[in-house]
Chains A and B, each alone.
Chain A
């Protein structure tokens, strides 16, 4: 199977809907003896933000690990622009432009912000290109340029998140995956982080977002998916999902609508 050329979006059905960057079908994956993902199918539309929410243990982070090739699926397929990622190494998947920002803070604390961001481009192995990308990243997040010389460890949690985003942009990702970016951040700072996600999307980045703050995540997103117990239980536009009365049952095993 070959990847389609970089031409304009034209799905096989020539539909007006946005084409899929990522297409996951019947994915089964897990650790040890058990399956965490029990047949997940989902599409990530080009140019959009697709938000995956769901109670603890639903399989959200496992899904991201499988896409990044950190966990090898047992069954099913994961295709980026038609190219199957299953069986590739994490590095190969990264080179294809799937960039994963993990849940826990992942900057090198004793290195400067600029050094951390430059490291995001380590697979580029081209100094001039790296320098151009750093400039481009500072264009998306001008505030970060002001912290460039600071030790990453001296930044606040929210600032570190932004630097992690900037580092991820160094590869001009085809798909940017953010795993619970609001984790551990105070409500005030959360807004800054969500604004940053919106900015990256406005700059053309397709985003797959896993978020525990379901309300804020779904409001921000063009597409929403609710996972529960290793399966996709609801999907639609972000707002449709948020307003679906079944979301209460999925979180609490009861029936109460969120809106």
Chain B
């Protein structure tokens, strides 16, 4: 099986900080992949580079072997990669349905029908006439997911779908992801909720300091010492903590 989405030696710096340092990941078609790592390890930056929100300094991004490095966000979206954001980006003063129609490229009546279907699917169709700003945080996440689905993307990138969401909604979101995956969608998910990630993902890639520390199935990842070391941080007491880098 070949990778549907792939990054190859991606570098990205902000000022002096290397956010991504030769970062190579592969997401196989039809899988639910997890991307984890401590704060500041580069997860969101990788999402931004893949989806065109940040320019890679070096390296390549491929979607089904087509090079999409540094393609503009709207173009990436139409090429088949949808994403949600850690802090949801919705139009608070538009209704839920209007938010959906903004994303749509279909004709008017069919767009409306499709939008309602997606809202139905994520479970917030009852709120279609409400202003999006009145939705709860969890419902906004669902709206974003619905919004992304309108374009029928092959790959869906979710940035902390379970973050700040109550447990029953977390389970609801997980179920929706499983259903979409069963219908053929490929996922890449950044999430700090380990139970969620470990329970949902086929494969997990762990980032630390902008590079890949480990990749494998959840059971291997959760017992990998390198992964725990990444989470617990660098040992400053050691006089030579980083022999490879600076000396």
- List residues of A whose CB falls within 8 A of some B CB: 32-34, 55-57, 182-184, 186-188, 190-191, 194, 211-217, 219, 242, 247-248, 251-256, 258
Contacts and interface: CB of A to CB of B under 8 A. Distances in A.
**Chain A binding surface, main DSSP class:** loop
B194 A253 contact: yes
B134 interface: no
Interface of B: 16-17, 38-40, 137, 163, 166, 192-195, 198, 219, 221-225, 227-229, 231-237, 241-242, 246
Contacts of B237: 216, 219
B194 A183 contact: no
A190 B231 contact: no
Among B193, B219, B231, B237, chain A packs the most CB atoms within 10 A around the CB of: B231
Given A55-B192, A55-B194, A251-B228, A34 B166 contact: yes
Contacts of A57: 163, 192-193
Contacts of B221: 252, 254
Q: Which 7 A-B pairs have the closest CB atoms?
A: A254-B222, A213-B233, A56-B192, A214-B232, A216-B236, A252-B222, A253-B194
A222 to B, nearest CB: 15
**Chain B binding surface, main DSSP class:** loop
B236 A214 contact: no
Contact of A33 (B39, B166, B224): B166
A256 B220 CA distance: 11
B231 A55 contact: yes
A252 B193 CA distance: 9
A255 B228 CA distance: 10
B206 to A, nearest CB: 10
Contact of A216 (B222, B234, B246): B234
Contact of A213 (B17, B166, B198, B234): B234
A157 B227 CA distance: 27
B190 to A, nearest CB: 11
B39 A212 contact: yes
